[in-house]
Structure 1
Amino acid sequence: MTSVPSPARASARRRSARPRLLRPAVAAAALALVLTACGSSSTTTGGGDGKAAATRVVGTAHGKVTVPAHPLRIVSVHSWSTESLLDLGIRPVGVENSGANYVPPRYLKRWKAAAKVTTGADIDYEKIAALKPDLIVGVDVPYLSKAYKRLSAIAPTAFASFDESSSWSTYPQATATFVNGTAQLTRLKQKYDDRIAAVRTSLGTKLTDSSWDVIQGGFDSGNYWIYSPASPVGDILSRLGVRFASATASVGKGGTKSVSYERADLLKDADYVVYYTNNDGSPANDIQKLFALRTFKELPAAKKHRVVGTPDFLPGSYSDAMGVVDSIEKGLRGQAG
């Protein structure tokens, strides 16, 4: 088996640039900086609406940044930030052009209503400036990190640190901090926690007695990816109390293994296999090539129809994470015993 860069690289690109390819390198800034508490300094610069002019200091991937206490015109240059903003009830004036096919349906109408200011690394600085943002938010993935200086010349720019080994929940937390939305985020967290608890209670041993592997169609010719227990879906499965089968359990934190489609046998001890689907439910990233193989069809999970797809495989928000829970619950409830 060949180790390849973490799926966070692919997921981050998928949720911002789509096509979904591997990311280059982890941003250098420490993740802890993202979660630095907001500074208490709040100044009102003269002349305008005091609410709009008040400022706060937040920790970001590029150090401390002074941002509006109540931003009114936000541009998001990364889909994780966009989905988190929409989750918080905030409508950005500009967003990344990730392609409508890859925007979760729960966000699609609001995403369509915003101006499109980036397509992957192709950033329309003039369009962003024309929107007159008072705050730009995003994730410090390599191509955005390179653009930081130009973006911050347009408006205060707050990027979450990008770290392959971080939990998916790091990014909504950072976005909420940047836009002074921690109260809304607290409610979302509680809703997610309650959903996890409810599913654990209702499904009981169907969860705790099952073992899972987590896979995605890879970007290496003829290969698929096996995700680690610390992957976004792995983290959610852990919260639900399941065990991991040997293929996923063998992958280190923040990593993935790229293996040949011919090695479907690696999934032989999984009770369930969870994978990534498009919004319409069709298999994403050519994973259907694996499913078509006889070796896969003979796996216990395949024979018992325990192959569970989710379009929220790469969550960027708490609503996405709850979408994963919904998919897992549906897959388990579909079983007779």
Structure 2
Amino acid sequence: MNRFRALLPRWGIGLIAAFALALSACTSGAADGGRQADASSAPTREFTSDHAEQPVEIPEDPQRIVAIGWAVTALISVDEADLVGVSSGTQDTGMTPEELEKAQGLPQVGRDLEIDVEKVAQLEPDLIVSGLAAAMEFDYSELEQVAPVAVAAMNQPSEWKDMNERIADAAGVSDAHARLIEEYDNRAAELNEEYSDVLADTMFVSIDAYGDGNWTLEHQGSHGTTVPADAGMRFTPESADGAFSESLPLEQLDRLNEYDAVLTRADAEGNPTRPIQDVMDQGPWSELEPVQNDRVYSVPQLGAMSYTTGLQLFDQLEERVLQDL
């Protein structure tokens, strides 16, 4: 299962957008006109957005930002980002508990592709930033009637760094975001150096499950591998057909015998997630070489795709995995 795949509620967004535009027309007045005048007079700059063929004009110094999709993870811990609203969805799994609490405390504008245009308009943003994945094929035309839209869409999970940096750029907080990047890079270098011998001798694999009766083997460039790879962990490059992950039946759990250590998703306490536990409860699991060698590690924050969650994942990997090998 690919987390980037979702169905587009075409008619739902269209109806909401139509209602939002009608409401806006009915309620506009002198105050609204003043706000529009202020917005139109603010300095702008060009931004190369993934949803448009030509660069879009966005504010140089946005003051009221609505973030949707994975753009939330890029900005939620940057105090300088003036967030007035966010969406929820698949990106929630990529936030720290503190970040998730902060995001849930902001005005909510929808979930995944079901963005409530009326709620966005009520927040009076001067910029909307989106990190919805390219595979979601979202139509931004209704949101563009509310405020300029800047999109940085990932085609695959390994592009999360580029997405984060482009969203920070659009939001005008590149300098603050750069401090997170520096901290992340320094911590990654520490782990690479301190555990160089273990890392050189170990081939890792990350797995996931979604409760559909299969399990997912993640190669380099997948959700569960990009941050561990920065810590020096080695993964197989890709599947035979070039994909970053494979959905496999339980009968093929013996594929894990090709690896020295297995990483799995876990809750905050380090317990395997329910879908992973269901896989572990199957007969073939107990016969696997990594299981018999006690080389299976359930790691909180595995699947991180932001610098803040990446830093927490580094700590978890050191404590739960690297120090044990």
Q: What TM-score range do you get, normalising by the shorter chain?
A: 0.7 to 0.9
Partner of 1:112: 104
Q: CA deviation at 1:99?
A: 8.7
The equivalent position to 2:129 in structure 1, one of 117, 137, 148, is 137
Q: For residues 52-71 of structure 1, what are the structure 2 equivalents within 5 Å?
A: 53-63=42-52, 64-71=55-62
Give the whole-Å Cα distance in 2 for the aligned partners of 1:205 and 1:66: 50
Change (3 A) 1:249 1:270: farther
The higher radius of gyration belongs to 2
Partner amino acid, structure 2, of 1:325: F
Tell whether the 8 Å contact from 2:156 to 2:222 is kept in structure 1 after alignment. Answer: no
Of the candidates 245, 249, 268, which is equivalent to residue 256 of structure 1? 245
Q: Does the CA-based 8 Å contact 2:92-2:100 persist in structure 1?
A: no
Q: What does 1:1-337 correspond to in 2, within 5 Å?
A: 9-10=2-3, 12=4, 22-23=5-6, 48=38, 53-63=42-52, 64-78=55-69, 80-89=70-79, 90-98=81-89, 102=93, 103-141=95-133, 145-164=137-156, 166-218=158-210, 221-244=212-235, 250=239, 253-284=242-273, 286-335=275-324
The answer as to whether partners of 2:72 and 2:91 remain within 8 angstroms in 1 is no
Which residue identity does 1:296 align to in structure 2? W
- When structure 1 is superposed on structure 2, of 303-312 and 249-258 the one drifting more is 249-258
Deviation at 1:119, TM superposition (A): 1.8
**Count of equivalent residues:** 295
Structure 1 segments unaligned to the other structure (5+ residues): 1-6, 13-21, 26-44
- Output one character per residue of 1:272-317: Cα deviation in whole Å (capped at 9) or x when no partner: 1112223454433612122112322232322333222334333231
The one-letter amino acid paired with 1:97 is: S
Equivalent position SS for 1:243: coil
- Shift of the 208–87 alpha-carbon distance from structure 1 to 2, 3 Å rule, reads farther
TM-score (norm: length of structure 1): 0.77
Are residues 166 and 109 of structure 1, via their aligned partners in 2, closer, same or farther at CA, if it must alter by over 3 Å? closer
CA displacement, residues 93-135 of structure 1 (integer Å, 9 cap, x when unaligned): 1111339984531302321220011122222111111110111
The alpha-carbon deviation at position 202 of structure 1 amounts to: 1.9
CA distance in structure 1 between the partners assigned to 2:131 and 2:90 by the alignment: 18
Seq. identity, %: 25
SS at match of 2:168: helix
CA distance in 1, matches of 2:137, 2:170: 17
Query: For the residues of structure 1 that align with 2:218 and 2:6, how far apart are their CA atoms?
Result: 16
Read off the aligned partner of 1:305 and give its amino acid letter.
D
Q: Answer 1 or 2: which has greater helix percent.
A: 2
Identify if the C-alpha distance between structure 1 residues 196 and 298 changes in structure 2 by more than 3 Å, giving closer, same or farther: same
Distance 2:302 2:268 in 1: 11
Superposed displacement of residue 166, structure 1: 4.5
